[in-house]
Amino acid sequence: MSAFGDWIHAAGTARLGLWQALATPYTAEICAQAGYDWLLFDGEHAPNTLQTLLAQLQAAAPYPVHPIARVPVGDPVHIKQYLDIGFQTLLLPMVDSAAQAAALVSASRFPPRGTRGVASATSRVSRFGADTSYLRQAHERVALIAQIESRAALDAVDAIAAVEGIDALFIGPADLAASLGHLGDPRHADVQAAIETARAAIAAAGKPAGIFALDLADARAKIAQGFAFVSIGTDVGLLANGARALLRSATETA
Ligand SMILES: O=C(O)C(=O)C[C@H](O)[C@@H](O)CO
């Protein structure tokens, strides 16, 4: 198992994460000191740029939390840029085949193992050249998580999980539901059955299975189901739901 997989399983319980979509270093630091095992910084569905992601990564750096970044699309450009600013673990959306997964692994590795461009003298990840071991060790430090969130990905989950260099797989219920014909209904029985099938296949391949939980009850259920790393909430949800709940409480008659 990879170093990331070892880290996931070292706790002996599910690693709990919080989704970051507010795209600000201030809220990232607030969440980083809250005690979560990992934070997901979303480059796909949040108003993030490379600069905002860098600022959030720097804000979280002093805290014992594992930063994971989701690239907007799995391509060599975003992989290269996200790794160069210092993310070591990337979540790759919409991985639908083993061939696609293998190409993404190659994009994350320096030659001769892959095709990642080299700029360690100016990159934060190698401490701007001070970490002279980075080039040799990068392929061992980088972890890639393939998102399983389509019918095609379900059909290929065994092959994707078998790809060397894919350290873990992560299920996206919203997109999976849409792909299965249940747009907006990730709790549909067909979707939940597909999620369990994928989870079992990932576990059988010896790799950690992660998932985005729909709410706290779903998070508890997914942990009990055997998911190894679970996003149990979002920063946006905490703020939006908390703001509404406070107003309701303040205006309710005693
Ligand atoms: O498909 C999903 O579900 C995910 O990948 C998680 C969502 O994208 C997350 O942004 C919450 O909506």
ipTM of the modeled complex: 0.96
Nearest CA to ligand 1 atom 12: 174
Q: Which atom of ligand 1 is nearest to the CA of 149?
A: 1
pTM over 0.80: yes
Q: What is the mean pLDDT of residues 82-88?
A: 98
Q: What is the pLDDT of residue 24?
A: 98
The whole-angstrom separation of Cα 149 and Cα 195 is: 9
Contacts of 178 (CB under 8 A, 6+ apart): 184
Q: What is the pLDDT of residue 12?
A: 87
- Other C-beta atoms closer than 10 Å to the C-beta of 214 total 15
Q: Which atom of ligand 1 is nearest to the CA of 234?
A: 11
Is 253 a residue whose pLDDT tops 80?
no
pLDDT, averaged across the chain = 96
- Give the sign of the dihedral formed by CA 233, CA 239, CA 178, CA 103: negative
174 lines ligand 1 (CB under 6 A): yes
- Is residue 196 within 8 A of residue 5, CB to CB? The reply is no
Confidence of residue 53 (pLDDT cuts 50, 70, 90): very high
The whole-angstrom separation of Cα 164 and Cα 137 is: 16
Q: 253 CA distance to ligand 1 centroid (A)? A: 37
End-to-end CA distance of the chain: 56
Q: 83 CA distance to ligand 1 centroid (A)? A: 22
175 lines ligand 1 (CB under 6 A): yes
Confidence of residue 1 (pLDDT cuts 50, 70, 90): low
SS3 128: helix
Q: What percent of the chain lies above the pLDDT cut of 70?
A: 99
Of 18, 175, 227, which is best to mutate to test ligand 1, by the most ligand atoms within 8 angstroms of its C-beta? 175
Q: What is the mean pLDDT of residues 51-63?
A: 98
Hey, which CATH number is domain 3-253, 1.20.930.40, 3.20.20.60, 3.40.710.10, 3.30.56.10?
3.20.20.60
Of 22, 45, 170, which is best to mutate to test ligand 1, by the most ligand atoms within 8 angstroms of its C-beta? 45
Confidence of residue 9 (pLDDT cuts 50, 70, 90): confident
9 an active-site residue?
Answer: no
Q: What is the pLDDT of residue 217?
A: 98
